[in-house]
Each structure stands twice: as structure tokens, then as C-alpha cells.
């Protein structure tokens, strides 16, 4: 990957360019979580496949290094509490909550797709095991796969069965096992080969089993307003960038049938913590590029987002998209 140039020119950064079905989407000036990483990360949009990809792909060593952070959400069981909302942010969150119809994953939610009382569940990219713990408490048998050793240690401390591995490369212990439900929650955006990840997951399902995949929703207005400062962009840990149509297209190439699409993540986009992260990114990237790269992430910009988004269709409103499919 190239080293960031001190002479950024915004018009050249986002000047459209095409090669076949691929076009330059954006270039991200480094990793905001690791301020010493000032490499330029180009994201290419593939119109045929319907999603964006970080190209060139990072090496295995670079991917591993990108997760070596003091604070990453899978590295602790108890997450830091949100900043207390005050002033304009308190008002924004309260109003956004009124229009927030997010669909959350739970054992009760799962019962509408698989009503059996005891299911064999695999959580790929299980992180610290939070979802596994919830499903186990509902009476299901749970297994996890997680590449991050710090996250696995936390999960194992709760006596969860979790293996080292990735969505593209499963541990040998699971090769012959089959599952009723497979979760991939905010995993596919991290995969070097998302096609292989979905194909592998479909191959581990029992007939009639369901595959649940959720990713950031890059079609959201919040993403478009924030651009390369969007909190959910998170390059270089995120390698793939989906919309609803792109995610459904990718999943549709596997041996499963798409049954439903759901969304979540609206009111949290107006929290001080979310906007504060985007302010940090904006300042860092603007300094590197020598120009203001987008409207400053403020409460007033969030107000504009609220007024533009609360009545929009889900694809434009929510920060995450979830596709539920069933084994044929």
C-alpha cells in the first residue's frame, strides 16, 4: 500500500474513474484508531457485484496488526457506558428514538424463523461471546469461531465453546458438524474473501437451517453525509462495504434462499459518543489532507440528518442491514 502524500488534493481524491464495472469510490487517509498509520486506503466500488472493496487487500500480518488496539469492543465484556446525553444531543436522541424501528436479535426474535426449543447454533466471529451467552441461556447449544485471541479468552472465561478460526477457514473440529442456525453479525465486512465466507457458512447448515448476516449499511444517509469520517467505515478493519442489494446479491450466490431483510441502528447515530468519534476522525483526516473533507460532525449536522432521514425508507435510515436466508 502506498504512503500518504502530504499534498492532498480533494478534487483528485474523489474524481470518478472507471475500469470495466469497477470505479474509484473513496480513498481513506489512514487508520483513525492507529494514528501512526498514515497509508492511503483506496476503496473500489464494483457495480456488477453491488458492493465496495478495499483494494489492494492487506496482508495477513497487516490485518492482525489492525486489531491490536487498546480499546476494541470485543476486548472487554462490559462495554464503556455511553456519554450522558445533554442539550441538543439529548433532544436529538429522544426524537430519533420515536422513529427508531430497529429489529434486534434475541431468542424470541429467532423463534419466528426457527421455533424449535433447542437449536444447534454457530456464531462465526463470536467476539467476546455475548450473543452466544444469550442463546445458551435460552436453552440452545452454542459454538463459536473467533480469530481474535483476546476476544476468545473473554468468551472462554464464561465457559463457552469457542474455536480459533475465520469465516474463510474453519477449525477441523467443525468440518463435519451441521447447524440449525449460523450467525455472522458484523463479520462479513472484515472478511478477505466474503464469497468464500458465505459459501462456507451455507455448507455447514442443516436443510432448512437459517443464515443470519448483518453488516454496516453503506447506503444510509448518515454514511453519505459523513463520507470517509463515518464511524462504521472503520478502514482497514473493514474490507467490504455493503448495501442491501449488494449483500442480498452476494448471499444469493450461495445454496440458500433469501427470506427477509431487516435493519437496525438509527437513534444511536445521534448520540454524543457516535458524533464525538466522527469529530476525532474528521480532525485527523482533515489535518492529513490539508482541507476540510466534509461538513463538521456537530449537533447541528445531526439535526439535518434527523430531518432528512426519519421518514425515509429503511435502506436510507439505518446504519446496519441484516439478511436472513434459509438452506434450500
Q: Would the pTM count as exceeding 0.85?
A: yes
The pLDDT value recorded for residue 13 is: 33
Q: Is the pLDDT of residue 328 over 60?
A: yes
Using pLDDT thresholds of 50, 70 and 90, give the confidence band for residue 84: low
Using pLDDT thresholds of 50, 70 and 90, give the confidence band for residue 85: low
Residue 172 falls inside a structural domain: yes
Which residues, 6 or more positions from 37, have their beta carbon under 8 angstroms from its beta carbon? 30, 31, 236
Residue 5 falls inside a structural domain: no
The pLDDT value recorded for residue 3 is: 32
Dump pLDDT digits (tens) for 29-39: 999 999 999 99
If you average pLDDT over residues 236-243, what whole number do you get?
97
Q: What's the rounded Cα separation, in Å, for the pair 178 and 209?
A: 9
Q: What's the rounded Cα separation, in Å, for the pair 88 and 97?
A: 14
Q: At what angle do helices 299-309 and 87-98 cross, to 10 degrees?
A: 10
Q: Would you call the peptide bond into 56 cis, given omega within 30 degrees of 0 as the criterion? A: yes
The pLDDT value recorded for residue 293 is: 84
Dump pLDDT digits (tens) for 277-303: 999 999 999 999 988 888 899 999 999
Residue 6 falls inside a structural domain: no
Q: What's the rounded Cα separation, in Å, for the pair 172 and 183?
A: 19
Dump pLDDT digits (tens) for 133-185: 999 999 999 999 999 998 999 999 999 999 999 999 989 999 899 999 999 99
Residue 2 falls inside a structural domain: no
Residue 117 falls inside a structural domain: yes
If you average pLDDT over residues 193-213, what whole number do you get?
97
Dump pLDDT digits (tens) for 86-145: 789 999 999 999 999 999 999 999 999 999 999 999 999 999 999 999 999 999 999 999
The pLDDT value recorded for residue 184 is: 98
Residue 160 falls inside a structural domain: yes
Domain count, the chain: 1
Residue 88 CB: number of other CB atoms within 10 A? 15
Dump pLDDT digits (tens) for 297-317: 999 999 999 999 999 999 999
CATH code, 49: 3.40.50.150
Q: Is the pLDDT of residue 11 over 90?
A: no
Q: What's the rounded Cα separation, in Å, for the pair 326 and 109?
A: 16
- Domain residues for 242? 11-327
Share of the chain above pLDDT 90, in %: 79
Q: What's the rounded Cα separation, in Å, for the pair 43 and 59?
A: 16
The pLDDT value recorded for residue 83 is: 55
Q: Are 41 and 53 in contact (CB under 8 A)?
A: no
Question: Bigger pLDDT: 2 or 293?
Answer: 293
Mean pLDDT of the chain: 89
Amino acid at each position: 500500500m502506498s504512503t500518504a502524500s502530504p499534498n492532498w488534493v480533494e478534487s483528485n481524491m474523489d474524481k470518478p474513474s472507471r475500469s470495466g464495472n469497477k470505479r474509484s469510490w473513496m480513498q481513506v487517509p489512514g487508520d483513525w484508531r492507529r494514528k501512526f498509520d498514515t497509508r492511503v486506503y483506496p476503496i473500489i466500488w464494483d457495480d456488477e457485484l453491488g458492493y465496495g472493496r478495499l483494494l489492494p487487500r492487506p496482508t495477513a500480518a497487516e490485518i492482525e496488526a489492525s486489531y491490536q488496539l487498546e480499546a476494541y469492543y470485543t476486548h472487554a465484556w462490559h462495554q464503556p457506558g455511553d456519554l450522558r446525553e445533554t442539550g441538543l444531543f439529548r433532544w436529538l436522541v429522544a426524537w430519533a428514538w420515536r422513529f427508531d424501528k430497529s429489529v434486534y436479535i434475541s431468542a424470541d426474535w429467532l423463534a419466528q424463523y426457527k421455533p424449535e426449543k433447542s437449536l444447534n447454533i454457530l456464531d462465526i466471529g463470536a467476539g467476546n461471546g455475548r450473543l452466544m451467552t444469550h442463546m445458551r441461556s435460552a436453552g440452545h447449544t452454542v459454538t463459536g469461531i473467533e480469530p481474535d485471541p483476546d476476544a476468545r479468552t473473554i468468551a472462554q472465561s464464561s465457559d463457552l465453546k469457542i474455536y480459533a478460526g475465520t469465516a474463510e477457514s474453519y477449525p477441523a473440529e467443525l468440518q463435519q458438524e451441521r447447524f440449525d442456525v449460523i450467525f455472522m453479525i458484523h463479520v462479513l465486512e472484515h472478511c478477505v474473501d466474503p464469497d468464500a465466507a458465505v459459501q462456507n457458512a451455507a455448507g455447514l447448515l442443516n436443510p432448512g437451517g437459517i443464515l443470519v448476516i448483518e453488516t454496516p449499511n453503506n447506503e444510509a444517509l448518515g454514511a453519505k453525509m459523513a463520507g470517509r469520517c463515518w464511524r462504521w467505515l472503520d478502514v482497514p478493519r473493514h474490507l467490504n462495504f455493503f448495501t442491501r442489494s449488494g449483500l442480498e446479491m452476494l448471499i444469493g450466490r450461495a445454496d440458500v434462499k433469501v427470506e427477509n431483510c431487516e435493519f437496525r441502528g438509527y437513534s444511536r447515530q445521534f448520540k454524543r459518543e457516535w458524533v464525538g468519534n466522527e469529530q476525532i476522525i474528521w480532525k485527523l483526516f482533515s489535518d492529513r489532507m490539508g482541507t476540510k473533507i466534509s461538513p463538521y460532525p456537530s449537533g447541528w449536522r445531526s439535526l439535518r440528518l434527523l430531518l432528512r432521514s426519519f421518514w425515509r425508507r429503511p435502506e436510507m435510515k439505518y446504519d446496519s442491514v441484516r439478511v436472513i436466508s434459509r438452506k434450500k
